[in-house]
Structure 1
């Protein structure tokens, strides 16, 4: 029995004992035959590691996804976790976001232990595509994968959100609710919000955040002070900026 898959003039032919690719594919082997099966391989693709390398080598993300799908249909075949990560990046950078959603359902049903790296990749993809809604949804979905968000996830999403003026409030809500998702805002988290509010001319909110840092045992750094001092100077409140500078020096923040 032979099945043939065509994508962008690229032929993928699966027979009962081997798989054929065109000469343009990097893993094309002599006699137009790649990844022979043998006694300890259950699919014409060979091992999951070889499929991972094949998918990683593809410049066409949709062809990579087709290879993924063909391999998935083989009996007893299970993709590596790295294959999912590689394909998510490929599809994300080519803006095939609906296919990413399909992969997330697959990886969940495949019972792979989920690591924070998956969400780092997803957030990166949505940041590059300038999709703040998708980035925000990613944060809220982390717990659905039995994974705990990290401060770097929170901070990157905050950066994505505040880069859009109409997303400053959603960013603030996420910041305030983050502890419910098992992650506490750190100094960088506060700085991101303080800078956003200062640039939005809401210095009073930025000042309130600054004062809350001390109450919550979050230590301001030199950037925390700089953000407020620059905002005060822009409003010609030089005396307030000088007071902050003195406070910074007295606390030994350098």
Structure 2
């Protein structure tokens, strides 16, 4: 079965073996069939094999059930994945109980459901419940689990809860924050206009040898510019470029807009020229930004 490239041939072998009088499938043959069918996105056929596994009370291993959960999450069958998790929880065989890998697979699935804050708020209740159950069962969270909590809280607009997890990492869970932890938090704080907290975290992040992601820098520059801290925004923009992170058109436009709004049209034009000279914007983007400035501040720009 393992040597078959065609999942249908693998399934035919599986079914043929099932009909042999002196043969019984074990966890390994079920596992191979489910992996082959899941990888081929033949989820209906995979579901049939999974039902055979669930019909045998003593059947299964942690690895087998984790594979089933993974492919159900890939198929966006989250309810089915949770049911498999509950089956693992209630299994008398201790070797089938959920592990850190089980929980992390579920966290990743629920956090990939989109950017709508309401949807994330709904799923965050499930994630929070899973996390509590994991800790209650004595499974030590790793950095992926903790970052999942931080990211989930940020996406569902509960940034203070994300900060609580961040501060508990080293103290309660003996786990050191990594660059992803800081990036999620900086983005979340900037989205709420909490630029002082965001810059503090950014500086702490850099002091630990991490470089903020492009998303973090873009969020920080935009938030600083919109809070009228234009000089600080420009400082972080140049730092961002030195660190070889890419600024997007929204960031360039926001900074130029806020410089103009402070009455410094000429400075905005000079800054745009610098962007062009340093090859940060191509000719097309330069013209787009120039046209925006001319449209919004044209009369003042002409005078300058």
TM-score range, shorter chain: 0.5 to 0.7
Shift in CA distance, 57/226, structure 1 to aligned 2, threshold 3 Å: closer
Aligned counterparts, 1:103-252, within 5 A: 103-105=52-54, 108-109=57-58, 114-143=60-89, 144=91, 145-147=93-95, 148-164=97-113, 165=119, 166-216=122-172, 217-249=174-206, 252=208
Aligned counterparts, 1:82-93, within 5 A: 82-92=28-38, 93=41
Instruction: Report the alpha carbon displacement of residue 70 of structure 1 after superposing the two structures with TM.
Output: 4.0
Q: Counterparts of 1:246 and 1:168 in 2: how far apart (Å)?
A: 29
Shift in CA distance, 205/184, structure 1 to aligned 2, threshold 3 Å: same
Considering fraction of residues, name the structure with more helix.
2
TM-score computed with the length of structure 1 as normaliser = 0.66
Q: Counterparts of 1:71 and 1:175 in 2: how far apart (Å)?
A: 40
Contact in 2 for aligned 1:127/1:135 (Cα 8 Å): yes
Instruction: Report the alpha carbon displacement of residue 158 of structure 1 after superposing the two structures with TM.
Output: 0.6
Residue 201 of structure 1 aligns to a residue whose secondary structure is: coil
Instruction: Report the alpha carbon displacement of residue 98 of structure 1 after superposing the two structures with TM.
Output: 4.3
Aligned residue number for residue 279 of structure 2: none
Aligned residue number for residue 95 of structure 1: 43
Residue 43 of structure 2 aligns to a residue whose secondary structure is: coil
Shift in CA distance, 137/105, structure 1 to aligned 2, threshold 3 Å: closer
Shift in CA distance, 59/156, structure 1 to aligned 2, threshold 3 Å: closer
Instruction: Report the alpha carbon displacement of residue 253 of structure 1 after superposing the two structures with TM.
Output: 5.5
Task: Specify every segment of 5 or more residues in structure 2 that has no aligned partner in the other structure, as ranges.
Answer: 114-118, 211-304
Considering fraction of residues, name the structure with more strand.
1
Instruction: Report the alpha carbon displacement of residue 85 of structure 1 after superposing the two structures with TM.
Output: 1.3
Higher mean C-alpha displacement, 96-105 vs 230-239? 96-105
TM-score computed with the length of structure 2 as normaliser = 0.56
Number of aligned positions between the proteins: 196
Q: Deviations over 1:131-186 (max 9, x none)?
A: 12222222232241432433222111111123332322111110111134442221
Instruction: Report the alpha carbon displacement of residue 99 of structure 1 after superposing the two structures with TM.
Output: 0.9
What's the Cα RMSD here? 2.7
Task: Specify every segment of 5 or more residues in structure 1 that has no aligned partner in the other structure, as ranges.
Answer: 1-51
